[in-house]
């Protein structure tokens, strides 16, 4: 299986033998769902009403995994795609699979700063209502004022430590559902597609847990609601 990862302006071809996928498929027949694949030092918050309306530590972990493993500038994941929490302590294969249950492929896109702002505006357009389109994010920090009309709520966006530049291109990692325009994300569907990774998000997440546990993700002020 060949995966091409973006690292700045360089492409690095890497071959991955996805043992995680094999384990996932075999688990149902082998009774391996209780296999421990990782550990967390904190409760991972995947509560429906939280991941669909605010930054959570689990949303940060999921998007950090996507950004790190793809080399993207930014990673986003719809709150509606995060399906479960995990209690502090050992994480079993079943628990990890429950978190990202849909097994979406991971995609990288090229987007302008203006498109990134449009994407974020759409993500918060239903706020304060709980909505699956609400984005969990990595690599960016944004501020929004819910008193403003939908589509005009973003006040500031930073990529890394620098202000977003509207005419600059950024690499954005996400799941195939959003990249195809799911949850109304036409701006993602219209973006230039760079890569489709031949390893789905669930397997990527499990692989990360196996290699980096224990994890201690925290809420970091990536999404700031101005009152």
Q: Which two tokens stand for residue 133?
A: 């389109």
Query: How many other CB atoms sit within 10 Å of the CB of residue 58?
Result: 26
Q: Which residues contact 30 (CB under 8 A, 6 or more apart)?
A: none
All domains of the chain in start order, with CATH = 2-225 (3.90.780.10)
pLDDT tens track for 159-212: 999 999 999 999 999 999 999 999 999 999 999 999 999 899 999 999 999 999
3-class DSSP assignment, residue 110 = strand
Instruction: Write out the two tokens for 92.
Output: 């079993």
User: What mean pLDDT is predicted for residues 139-164?
Assistant: 97
Record the pTM. Answer: 0.88
User: In 3-state terms, what secondary structure has residue 188?
Assistant: helix
């Amino acid at each position: 299986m060949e995966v091409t990862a973006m690292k700045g302006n360089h492409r690095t071809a890497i071959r991955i033998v996805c043992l995680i996928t094999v384990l996932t498929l075999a688990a149902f027949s082998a009774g391996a769902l209780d296999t421990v694949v990782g550990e967390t030092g904190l409760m991972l918050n995947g509560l429906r009403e939280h991941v669909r309306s605010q930054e959570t530590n689990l949303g940060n972990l999921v998007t950090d995994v996507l950004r790190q493993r793809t080399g993207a500038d930014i990673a986003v994941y719809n709150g509606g795609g995060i399906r479960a929490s995990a209690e502090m302590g050992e994480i079993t294969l079943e628990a990890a699979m429950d978190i990202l249950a849909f097994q979406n492929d991971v995609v990288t896109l090229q987007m302008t700063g203006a498109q990134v702002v449009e994407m974020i505006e759409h993500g918060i357009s239903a706020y304060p209502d709980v909505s699956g389109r609400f984005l969990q994010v990595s690599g960016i920090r944004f501020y929004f004022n819910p008193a403003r009309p939908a589509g005009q709520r973003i006040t500031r966006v930073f990529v890394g430590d620098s202000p977003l530049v509207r005419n600059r291109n950024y690499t954005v990692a996400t799941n195939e559902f959003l990249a195809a325009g799911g949850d109304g994300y036409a701006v993602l569907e219209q973006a230039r597609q760079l890569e489709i990774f031949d390893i789905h998000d669930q397997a990527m997440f499990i692989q990360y847990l196996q290699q980096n546990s224990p994890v201690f993700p925290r809420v970091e002020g990536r999404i700031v609601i101005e009152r």
